[in-house]
């Protein structure tokens, strides 16, 4: 058996796979953001049944490991006759996962807007939609930036579970190269370094936004 040496070709393969990791992250954040925003609004809606339904959705998603969501999306649907490509299954799973956490993050940010802002907008005879559009959401968005960016770091790292269904992202690429080179320390050290290159700037950006916007701390 001929072993391959870890070199430029293997590193290039890791960089290519990193692009798929980033694509899956973008899909999760965009899809999860849209769904999570709707759930966050439902969570703060006036009708109690709507709030209860939104809270139940959040609790279910946060109570299930994202790996189980992936298994249900890929293997569960295939048993029902609907076979999704790995990218679609991983994207759908990460979207559902992200929506549950982003909804709760944004719900907290909406409710963090001072009560006086709600009362002031009501005194101006604004409708509920106008309150959200012109008063509440602009302030909530400012508060939500640091935790949202921080959560993006978790999404990047959790994309590695897609390797379970054969989707070749960064972690899966590392496994394939290691199987060919039998150099786990070198291969996975490079993989860890690539994750660090992506996640560390996001973590620093989250801290910077928190300091600049004075969000999440009281002095």
Taking only the tens place, the pLDDT of each residue in 37-74 is: 999 999 998 899 999 999 999 999 999 999 999 999 89
pTM of the model: 0.89
Q: Judge whether residue 200 has pLDDT over 90.
A: yes
Pair of tokens at residue 79? 């048993």
Q: Residue 219's pLDDT is what?
A: 42
Which pLDDT does position 215 carry in this prediction? 45
Angle at 39 between CA 34 and CA 45, to 5 degrees: 130
According to DSSP, residue 72 is labeled I
Residue ranges of domains in the chain, CATH in brackets: 8-214 (1.10.3720.10)
Q: What is the DSSP track for 121-176?
A: HHHTT--HHHIIIIIIHHHHHHHHHHHHHHHHHHHHHHGGGGGGGT--SHHHHHHH
pLDDT score for 214: 64
Q: What is the pLDDT of residue 5?
A: 81
Give per-residue pLDDT as tens, 90-115. 999 999 999 999 999 999 999 999 98
pLDDT value at 202 more than 80: yes
Looking at residue 128, its pLDDT comes to 83
Asked if residue 175 has pLDDT above 50, the reply is yes
pLDDT band at 3 (very low <50, low <70, confident <90, very high): low
């Amino acid at each position: 058996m001929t072993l391959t040496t870890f070199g430029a070709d293997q590193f290039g393969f890791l960089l290519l796979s990193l692009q798929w990791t980033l694509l899956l992250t973008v899909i999760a954040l965009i899809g999860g953001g849209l769904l999570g925003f709707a759930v966050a609004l439902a969570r703060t809606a006036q009708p109690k049944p709507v709030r209860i339904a939104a809270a139940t959705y959040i609790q279910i998603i946060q109570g299930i490991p994202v790996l189980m969501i992936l298994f249900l999306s890929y293997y569960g649907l295939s048993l029902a006759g609907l076979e999704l490509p790995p990218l679609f299954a991983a994207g759908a799973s990460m979207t559902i996962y992200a929506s549950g956490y982003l909804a709760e993050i944004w719900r907290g940010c909406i409710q963090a807007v001072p009560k006086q802002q709600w009362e002031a907008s009501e005194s101006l005879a604004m409708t509920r939609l106008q309150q959200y559009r012109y008063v509440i959401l602009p302030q909530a968005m400012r508060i939500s930036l640091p935790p949202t960016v921080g959560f993006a770091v978790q999404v990047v790292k959790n994309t590695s579970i897609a390797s379970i269904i054969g989707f070749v992202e960064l972690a899966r690429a590392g496994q394939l190269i290691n199987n060919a080179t039998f150099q786990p320390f070198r291969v996975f050290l490079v993989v860890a370094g690539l994750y660090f290159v992506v996640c560390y700037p996001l973590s620093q950006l989250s801290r910077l936004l928190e300091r600049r916007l004075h969000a999440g701390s009281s002095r």
